[in-house]
Structure 1
Amino acid sequence: MFYYLFQCLSDKTDLPGLRLMDYITFRSGIALVLSLFIAIVIGRRIIDRLQLMQVGEIVRDLGLEGQMKKSGTPTMGGIIIILSILIPCLLFGNLSNVYMVLMVVSTLWLGSLGFLDDYIKVHRHDKDGLKGKFKIVGQVGLGLIVGLTMMMSPDIVSRHIAETTDTGSAAITQTVTVDETAEPVAASGHVDIKAPITTIPFVKSHNFNYTSLTRALGPAAALGGWILFIIVVIFLVTATSNGANLTDGLDGLATGTSAIIGTALAIMAYLGGNVIYSTYLNIMYLPGSEELVVYMAAFIGALIGFLWYNAYPAQVFMGDTGSLTLGGIIAVFAVLIRKELLLPVLCAIFYFEDLSVVLQVAYFKLTKRRYGKGRRIFKMTPLHHHFQKEGNPVGADGQPCEVLLKRPAHAIPESKIVLRFWIICIILAVITFVTLKIR
């Protein structure tokens, strides 16, 4: 709204300051401050309203210290995060930008999915909430929307700047694997590439084209590359969204890690959306993607503001309304800035939370068939509960279960677990940037 208002006024008058909206840094700063303000000030009102509506968390007794004290704490606080993101984006974002539109759609899509899950848990008193298959369908649907939009939209391209040599000829400064049909546009001094290109570490040009894996398809190789890309997008959206959902088990854990990941992605988006920095650093330049910095600034501000109430001891939980949305936002954002293959490092905490549950279930079933009694790898999953559990878990027969990983011998306080996970997340973010310099 304000973005278009300032644009209209700047075209008709010469008042000083009207061109500030043209600067990504200015709009991003305003979006961050506003989202922080909304989360803290309006968030307090929403929490009070949730308490009046008796929208409390249903806590199962898992034998964890301080767990039952959380029973009745207002949940569905993800509404605060979503509003704190969307309002600044609607006010200061360029809504004609396809990248911004996709992020707004992703936020609403996953927010609605998570809200429905929380609604079933709280108002219908069904602890299982929305069935897993419906969640998967929703996540797969979003992956399809994002992947197909990136394939079909003419505004989503990677641009490779040409520089003029002494002889006046054009030379591409960035080397990538592109379609053979792509030709440099000599008149404008650049070439726009419409291909499923992404960034990978340890490679000199940092770029990888999915089409290189489907060359055996001949004339259909380009289409095959896009189909492979869409499959990767669907997998990452689903895995990251569920990973963030599983990580949301301790006060401030998912909120803090998501804010750290968001900061790293915002820096990448700013560099990749700036022609000067992208050319200087020899990274992929994505025209129009700089608008994503405004969105991610609102995302970071919303999470920091929400952490005001969600830090230990939490006054509100985000519920699936927030956790499913956070993971999906991170995955879609990484895909849009062509950094999705860096997510296994940057979001390793989310994926280890996913993996811990899968391994625990698989190992339990395998050992039960072999020994007649199931054994466990971890004391409890998701992974963060392993550090919180005192002693070995007890099976259905009331006897202690055999556990492969017995350390730590004693339970670690919840606040310390959260802080250590944050530190690990910061280290992973630094490693993600370092991998781009190791060629």
Structure 2
Amino acid sequence: MYSHSRVLSHHYLLLASHKHFSRAIASQGQSSSFVRYSCSHSCSPRLNPLIIQQYRCCGQCSVLTRAFGEDSFDLPLLDEWDLDGNSSGYFLSSSDVTAHRLATLGRGRRRHRKKFGIIISFGLIIFSTMLLLYIDWCAWRIVRLPLPPFYMTRPFLISAFLAAFVGYICIPFFQIFEFIQVFKKEGPVRHLLKKSVPTLGGLLFVPIGIFVTRALGGFSSVEVLGAAGATLAFAAIGLLDDIFSLTTKQKRGLPGWAKVLLEAAVGTSFSIWLDISSISSPYGMKMLVPLPLGLVYLGQYYRLLTSFSFVSMGHGVEITNGLDGLASGIAALAFIGMSIAVLPICSGLAIFGASMAGSCVGFLLHNRYKASVYMGDIGSLALGGALASMAACTGMFLPLLISSGVFVVEASSVVIQAIYFSITKGLQRLRRYFLHMAPIHRHLQLSGFGEPTIVAGAYIISSLLALLAGYVGLVSA
């Protein structure tokens, strides 16, 4: 197999396949900047499926191409392209920069991004561990009852270790059985290069979070049992969606309306179960929403709020699950914020949240940039259902909104994009799209930000939101 530096050693630069390059140019519109390369050559290239052979030049030509880079534009670097038999290429001849230098520069940038991905992942783990240790240290002041040592840190660390260990064992089998993630064709070009990454990673960490909760807490409270049941129900919907996607080799699995109906059915069933079950509420009555200024009784509207929370959280996490390590890291921080908020009301749910946060962190070690596995809809929907169930059992909807702020923004960007497109559809002088591409992390990508940079920013924002959500929950309770 010829290396890229050897194949392109005579200054012949393969920019992109015709299909991918055209799509990248179209996605940027007419405002894209171009660089003109001129040379005293008129070339007659001859393309082999695997080897780009040397060709002779006999005249003058002018090649118009675009300056590129993986972070600045939506085009990958040389070493990430698959030279298969179905790709046709553009070539240019340059006497200034050799392909070997470009390939070396590309490898250096990728190594830097991988190191940055490792740093932000371990930074998230250290922050989460230190925060939970502090909460355990002052938990007796919050609950006013003696709790076992390392009440929340222990399930967090155990789940993280088990999820990481199971991932190292099972991911090779996912690759063998070809559980490969399917990407949308209209998405960014560089995501088509991740076509060999397996999915269904939710099978690796969602059961572990529930198992650790069962082992340490024993499902002693009705709330924990209901939260675990709602999580598994949403995981089943996601698994069904992933199976349809894998069997049809298309990004869309279940129809959108069917998925919404199933999620709404689970949310409605959960709200009815809350109404008829005997939940130990410190307020002496159900259907209450604790707020910093007092308690609000919603009555039958509590069911509508519960169903809406389940549907919106499921879709919010699913939409955010588009970059390496984005959804798993944000979900871990959201679970920590919710665990702190619900600790005075239901300490068993705090164990459940810490266990789910730890399983997300353990999965993050395999899902960070560059990811070796994706969680799939089975993981994203299960995380959304778990967060919504914690809020529904305790009434902590305001801390849920705060801790899941990134999920809310991601889902809102899709809605805003659709509304803006509908309003400006008949107006030719206005832009037809509010963002380059929805959701907002795609817009940031096409604006020139790299994946680890976007993920690091989201982690910082989610960390602050988790602290705020925990504080608001403690004040409200």
Q: TM-score, normalised by structure 2?
A: 0.65
Distance 1:428 1:32 in 2: 19
3-state SS of 2:424 partner: helix
- CA 1:30–1:246: 2 relative to 1, 3 Å: same
Where in structure 2 are the equivalents of 1:103-114 lying within 5 Å? 103-114=227-238
The runs of at least 4 aligned residues of structure 1 exceeding 6 Å deviation read 436-439
3-state SS of 1:158 partner: coil
Query: Could you tell me which of 261, 271, 288 is aligned with 2:334?
Result: 261
- 2:465 aligns with 428
Distance 2:210 2:469 in 1: 28
- CA 1:74–1:146: 2 relative to 1, 3 Å: same
Where in structure 2 are the equivalents of 1:332-343 lying within 5 Å? 332-343=389-400
Answering whether residue 143 of structure 2 is matched by residue 55 of structure 1, we say no
Where in structure 2 are the equivalents of 1:143-292 lying within 5 Å? 143-159=267-283, 193-201=284-292, 203=293, 206-210=294-298, 225=299, 227-270=300-343, 272=344, 286=345, 289-292=346-349
Distance 2:226 2:474 in 1: 30
Deviations 1:168-208 (A, max 9, x none): xxxxxxxxxxxxxxxxxxxxxxxxx123111223x1xx321
Letter in 2 for 1:207: L
3-state SS of 1:412 partner: coil
Give the fraction of aligned pairs with identical amino acids, expressed as a percent: 27
- 1:376 aligns with 433
- 1:329 aligns with 386
Where in structure 2 are the equivalents of 1:75-94 lying within 5 Å? 75-94=199-218
Query: Could you tell me which of 352, 364, 368 is aligned with 1:307?
Result: 364
Measure how far apart 1:435 and its partner are. 4.8
- CA 1:63–1:262: 2 relative to 1, 3 Å: closer
Letter in 1 for 2:279: D
Where in structure 2 are the equivalents of 1:355-366 lying within 5 Å? 355-366=412-423
Distance 2:234 2:429 in 1: 41
3-state SS of 1:327 partner: helix
- 1:401 aligns with none
3-state SS of 1:73 partner: coil
Measure how far apart 1:141 and its partner are. 1.7
Letter in 1 for 2:167: G
Query: Could you tell me which of 24, 31, 47 is aligned with 2:155?
Result: 31
Do 1:114 and 1:324's aligned partners in 2 also have CA atoms closer than 8 Å? yes
3-state SS of 2:334 partner: helix
Do 2:213 and 2:351's aligned partners in 1 also have CA atoms closer than 8 Å? yes
Larger Cα-atom Rg: 2
Do 1:24 and 1:293's aligned partners in 2 also have CA atoms closer than 8 Å? no
Do 1:106 and 1:332's aligned partners in 2 also have CA atoms closer than 8 Å? yes
Do 2:184 and 2:251's aligned partners in 1 also have CA atoms closer than 8 Å? no
- 1:344 aligns with 401
- 2:243 aligns with 119
Do 2:318 and 2:380's aligned partners in 1 also have CA atoms closer than 8 Å? yes
Please, what is the CA RMSD of the aligned residues? 2.2
- 1:218 aligns with none
Moved more, 319-328 or 361-370: 361-370
Measure how far apart 1:105 and its partner are. 0.3
Letter in 2 for 1:327: G
Distance 2:266 2:456 in 1: 32
- 2:353 aligns with 296
3-state SS of 1:74 partner: coil
Measure how far apart 1:126 and its partner are. 3.2
- 1:319 aligns with 376
Measure how far apart 1:416 and its partner are. 0.3
- 1:396 aligns with none
Do 2:315 and 2:381's aligned partners in 1 also have CA atoms closer than 8 Å? yes
Do 1:24 and 1:291's aligned partners in 2 also have CA atoms closer than 8 Å? no
3-state SS of 2:322 partner: coil
Distance 2:251 2:414 in 1: 18
- CA 1:332–1:66: 2 relative to 1, 3 Å: same
Aligned length: 331
Do 1:24 and 1:294's aligned partners in 2 also have CA atoms closer than 8 Å? no
Letter in 2 for 1:32: F
3-state SS of 1:66 partner: helix
3-state SS of 2:435 partner: coil
Do 1:28 and 1:295's aligned partners in 2 also have CA atoms closer than 8 Å? no
3-state SS of 1:207 partner: strand
- CA 1:363–1:140: 2 relative to 1, 3 Å: same
Do 1:248 and 1:323's aligned partners in 2 also have CA atoms closer than 8 Å? yes
Do 2:321 and 2:380's aligned partners in 1 also have CA atoms closer than 8 Å? yes
Measure how far apart 1:139 and its partner are. 1.3
Query: Could you tell me which of 132, 135, 145 is aligned with 2:256?
Result: 132
- CA 1:63–1:324: 2 relative to 1, 3 Å: closer
Do 1:310 and 1:316's aligned partners in 2 also have CA atoms closer than 8 Å? yes
Letter in 1 for 2:196: G
- 2:453 aligns with 416
Moved more, 301-310 or 149-158: 149-158
3-state SS of 1:140 partner: helix
Distance 1:34 1:436 in 2: 25
Distance 1:437 1:199 in 2: 10
Distance 1:198 1:434 in 2: 16
- 1:181 aligns with none
Deviations 1:209-239 (A, max 9, x none): 11xxxxxxxxxxxxxx1x2000001011111
Letter in 1 for 2:463: I
Measure how far apart 1:137 and its partner are. 1.7
3-state SS of 1:199 partner: strand
Do 2:228 and 2:386's aligned partners in 1 also have CA atoms closer than 8 Å? no
Measure how far apart 1:49 and its partner are. 1.2
- CA 1:318–1:144: 2 relative to 1, 3 Å: same
Distance 2:304 2:415 in 1: 21
Distance 2:392 2:411 in 1: 20
Measure how far apart 1:422 and its partner are. 0.9
